[in-house]
Amino acid sequence: MELIVLILVVVVLVALLARGGVSLAGLAVNTLVGVVLLILTNLFLSPPIPINIITLLICAIGGVFGWLIILILHILGIAFNVAV
């Protein structure tokens, strides 16, 4: 499931960068905000959300909305679950 999400995120990222809709500075700020939110979220969740390339790309593109999507998918058990 995560591989499909990664492929979709990379395609969207390439499309946005090609059209000029996203600047690298904006991606850096969104990534920083997303990582901080993921770290703060992991302080309160029992099974933590993994911080990897997939979650970083989603946060880089979506910012706070990307973090919210990751959180909802994690809570519902659809994606981003840590294998035991």
pTM across the whole model: 0.69
For the chain, give percent helix, strand, coil, nearest 5: 75, 0, 25
pLDDT averaged over 10-residue windows placed end to end, the chain, 84 residues: 72 72 75 87 87 82 85 85 66
pLDDT at 84: 57
Residue 48 to residue 23: CA distance in whole angstroms: 30
Q: Residues 74, 82: contact at Cβ < 8 Å?
A: no
